[in-house]
Structure 1
Amino acid sequence: MLPISRAPSCRALFAALMILMSGLFAGMVPSAQAQTAPATTAAPHITAEQARQLASVLNDETRRKEFLTTLQNLTQAQQGGTQGANGPSKLKPDGLGAEILGSATDWSRLASAQAHSLLRTVVDVRAIGPWWRHMRNSEADRKESLKLLLRALGLAFVSTGLFYALRFLLRGPRGRIEAMARIKGRAALIKGEDDRQAAEEAVEREAASTPSEATGESEEGQDKERLSRLRHQGALARLMLVLKRLPYSLLCLILDSLPVLVVPFIALLIIVIDPDADESTTGLLRALSITALIAGGLIVAVRTVLAPRRPWLRLALLSDSAAVFLFDWTRLLVITTGISAAALETLDDCGLPDRVVEALLKIVTLVLHLMVAVMIMRSRPRVMRLCDRGDRRGIGANALHLFGRVWWVVALFFDMGLWLVWAAEIHHGYAAIWKLFLRSAAALVLMRFVSIILYGVLERVFRTAPGWVALSEDTQTRFSRYYAPAQRVTSVVIVVLTVLALASAWGAPVKALFGVGGLGYRLISSSMTVLIALFLGVLVWEATNLTLERYARKVGALEGGAARLARVRTLQPMIRIVLLVLLVAVIGLTILSEIGVNVAPLLAGASIFGVALGFGSQKLVQDFINGIFLLMENALTVGDAVTLNGTYGVVEHLSLRTVHVRANDGSMNIFPFSSLGQIINYNRDFARAIIIAETGYETDTDDVVAAINEITAEMRADERFGTLIIDDFQMWGVDALNQTSVTVRGTLPTTTAGRWPVQREFYRRMKKTFEAHGIHLPYPTRFVEVKGLGPVPQKEETAERSPGQNTQEAGA
């Protein structure tokens, strides 16, 4: 069996059945226009001279071509005038879309006319107005109708009161009967359970005493025989249980029937004591009594068989919920039918026109059929649980499961179909509906086999396709994602084929529709073209994505490929967006062209829009193109420390046209790619920490170089900075002789991330090391001379000053 999830939706089948049934029965009903149309129409007439001129034109090749050109021009002019009146047409006159719209318009117009005709035959209440005016003007008829209504209402009210009063009086005897039936039923259940256990023990003893080797039968055959014996024993026990309940049920039936007899008794009493009784009142009361007897008798009979909420009286071996469900719906249907029949009988005797009574009868019958449809829908879970009992296996269980899935469609079909046949008064309608049902069943069975084959082939293709060619794991994963869409497309195809099969079974001209040049043929051809375009688009999309992913993994596996991988990841969304836009444009134009939309104006408009966009957004295009080339050249990557147009910061985001840089002060700077005149990237390959040492003239530069090398050795030995320094200190030497200092310059190669940390730490250690080695770091000194002070001993001060200070003073 095919899984339920793969089977065509029963709701879709039901919808197709209802649509086809309504269309067919609407077609069976003669339309009002056809009935009112004249029997004959005036035939076109031409003279003999006109016929000879037409023959001469057709025989001459040149004149025939001119004639055909004239006809084509007239046709185009007429179409243009129609389009001008209804608005500009965007579909080709001979395109698929125009043909589908034309066919849909014709079908909807025909269906509307036929439905209107059917509705008018069902709801024909136009005669109520004349009848009401007649009753208002005729006092005798009005009095006669009022007399009948008063008798009918009196019968209804008095009978209802006596009915419930008599039921109340009979509650005591009925309760005692139920109590006895309950006691007997409990004893019968205990005896039945004992008989079942005894039968099981007997079967087990027989199985133990006669092994399968002695009888020559298999164990499976013996098990079947035992189950058959137990089943027969259970059936006999149930029959005996029903027979024991039957006397009490019959007594309850008699007691329940007594209140129903109140209605004819009250009707007879009214006829006897009525001084104005005549044939019309007698006939009405007799008809109402018969209706009440039939309806009440049916309800009493159903209550006796089902005995809702009283299993000890139930003759039908059903569960409590099933018995209550069936009784409630049966009582509702019978009461509705009885009240409607009584009301229509009363209105008919009051002089209501027969057409109106017939229309009201059809409406009431439609309401009853709709109630039956609701009952069928609400009983679906119960029937499904009954058909899916766990102890059943084999072909029978599968058949029951299929019945549980589709029985309600058949029931609704016959429910509404029978009403349509009766209401529309279709000749030989009941024979036609049975014929249609058998054809539909055959079509559904055939489509069931087709669905099994299609779903099975689909599942096998997706399961075995990885073995046909060597597919990577990613390719297999992407391939498996399309199983669900393929399954949905297959479901749509199956539903369409099912509708076509049902249409063919119901006599629709499917062959002519799908012939060469027909609407169905063009529709299938266009659908195949669209599906192929979609398949190629998906293939290109997936191939591009797989290629990008493989290239990204290949780049990431290389040594130092993190930066290149980041560049590839940055370019991937852009490539996908461009590819998606191209695919959507091409496939969209293909679909519109197949539908019949004239794509030439769209292409021309797109070209004009593209030219206008190119002139109006040159800067935007320049941003996009510059960004693509900068990213391809690996000029920028997210996380790089850069200086763009004099602004230093870290790249946080790259879009199609802008780069976002976070500056040291926290501000976000956004630069369009076209505005970047200079790009300084500090995160490429390696960096250099520039070290500048300024010492006094009295310091030996060799001591400075030794101190710098010492600092470099210490930092390379440090765990925090050893991984950041990639080489020894590169001494450039004495770089400048200043007025008061000597400049020694060199660089320390580092990683791109270690430039600033290494430089700051180097300067910190350099200060401490110079102080420890007595290397003087010069700083500017200023002397202020104040006049009027006494002389200062120059000899002692000169002795206390160092040579370097004297030099600085002289320089100052």
Structure 2
Amino acid sequence: MTLPRRTLYLISGWLLACLLLVSGPLQAQSPEGQQAANATLASLLENPETRQQLIDQLRAQAQAPAEAATEAAQDVASEPSLPRQLADATSHIVDELGGQIGGAVDTLAGLFGGNLVDDGGFDMSAVTSAAINLGLVILATFVLFLAIRRLARPFFTRLSQWSLNGQGLQPLLRLVICVAVAALIDALVVALAYVGGNLVATFAVGESGELSTRASLFLNAFLVIELLKAAVRMLFASHYEGLRLLPIGAANASYWNRWIARLIGLAGYGLMVVVPLVNAYLSPALGSAVGTLIMLGAYVYAVAVVMRNRQALRQALNHKAGQTTMTASRVSLQLFARTWHLFALAYFTVVLVLTLTRPETALPFVLLATLKTLVTVLAGMLVSSFLTQTIGRRIRLGDDLRRKLPMLEARLNHYVPTALRVVRAVILIVVAMLVLNAWGAFDLAAWYASEAGRGLIGKLLSVFVILVVAAAAWLGLASLIEHKLNPETGGGVPSARAQTLLALFRNALAIALVTLTAMIVLSEIGINIGPLIAGAGVLGLAIGFGAQKLVQDIITGVFIQVENAMNTGDVITVGGVTGVAEKLSIRSVGIRDLNGTYHIVPFSSVDTVSNYMRDFAYHVGEYGIAYREDIDEAIQVLRNAFEDLKADEEHNVNLLEPLEVAGVIALADSSVNIRVRIKTTPGTQWATGRAFNRLVKLHFDAAGIEIPFPHTTLYFGEDKDGGAPPARVRVLEKKASRQSSQSDVEEEVHFGPADTQNSQEVHNDEDG
């Protein structure tokens, strides 16, 4: 059968076109081939029929990729839903299990039926010899491991004792150092046992100088599994309290260490030793079935242990939450106490599913993800505990610094725990992101490499630095103000004006720092504060018009402070209220009156400020004497009383000038009034006046000068003849005898008709 010439030309042209498109570099290196191809292509293009067919074929090839892309898009659009994917995965797992069980049954049937032996696929003697040799290697390796570990016990004991009772380092830092050293020793013990097992398997068991595959499988599994157990012993050191990272008791540590070690040993040795040996000596189908059974058994064992300890671990976590002072940590621990078993069951379920669906890559992935999770969580716990033990406890400053800055310690003990809570929250977020990244649920590196990730991290760092700088500025400036206000370190007792102005400046500084910090933080996180500032200006203008009283309060308060009209501690009269100015703000003054009532007087209602404590004060006293007394003698007695007041050390320091006697200021109805004035230090005029009044009374009594007092006239009436009826008046008085005894004397005075007076005047003093 011969082909038409036109078809031959077309095929040749296609071959040449493919050579031109695919092997361009080769053609460039071969000039002769290039010339031949060009000649053939030119011949094809000269023929109109072949040229048209070539053009049609090229157009069809050009449309093929577009159609393929359209079909791919349709396939993507028709991707099955999540329930369908779960159903397919479940069906796949069931099919795999069914196939593994069927293959295992066939293998066992052939083994016990003798088919494998007859076919030469199973040699009992070889299996027996291999099992004996492997058993010897296993026995020798574990004996070496236990012997070397027993020799290392004194090192573990000393490390534990130093961790518990050592000096010179922070306790958590000692614990971390000792655990790290113990982990190195533990790893060295495992490595020595591994090397010893290799030597035994190479030179003492089987053919000398060769390491069998089965021995290599076990030794590699031994190295990996025992290193994992050593890592677990870092968390649950049941015999060494000083080498236990987790804060739990010895009994609980022993239980969880034993349980996790069994689980690791069952899954590790089963999948890394038993399954490969079954695959090699029996059947891959039986090996797959054995691996599935091992994982199912480990899963059932893990679920049983989790459910058995659900309540006990829940109570322990709730107890730990009750000891936590941080609200977020307490709530998180309480929530985790309720749901920890769900996380554990989900973890073991995921491990089982991954092992069944991806048996080749599941175990390394799960081990690496679990190791990353444990390391991340442990590192987060250690960093949080270290910060708590370092700066989380109550900060105590030195006596000298506490004396100079009395409020600094209280501020630090208020700010540092708040900052520690923020740092703990950041640590929790970072740990969660790293755990999700370890399990493939979140690509941390790609997120950080993205513009959004870098921008978020940069903004958070900027906000953190801004807040730290603002807090440091407030601590420094507030401490400086307190240093100036402290009489022991600020250059003596500050004046009342200095106290008032510094207190107002501290309040204004706090408001300014908070406002500026908020504005800078908002600007840093990407919020345009220009409209905010403009809106605040418009809002302030509206508030100014609507709250004129408030504006008047502030303006009046500013002028009062500028004019130094009052200070904290002054006795003033403002708005009809007299008392001590306890608190001054830019808008009002707080006054405590004599009865202890606290009044807040806005400055807008202040017309006059009466300050009783400016520069000096006066005690003005007016003393009345009877008309029969000698005025000059009375003035001399007043001077004598002042001399006695000067002799009193308590009041002498408050007297600024000698007694000023103004003289007689009034001839009153029943007394002659004499005024004196005593100049005192501000604020002491009332105490000085009370002491002087006491001395005046004592001196007047000693001199026999009468201080007039009110008189009472008793009228008994009279009859038509002008006679007064008899009145019986009984006067009771106490007289002191010379022997200091007292007796009551009763006198009766009779007034009868023979009396010439119609009324009797009886003088009663206030003590009668």
TM-score by length of 1: 0.40
Task: Identify which of structures 1 and 2 has the higher relative contact order when contacts are C-alpha pairs closer than 8 Å and 6+ apart.
Answer: 1
TM-score by length of 2: 0.42
Larger radius of gyration: 2
Per residue, is there more helix in 1 or in 2?
1
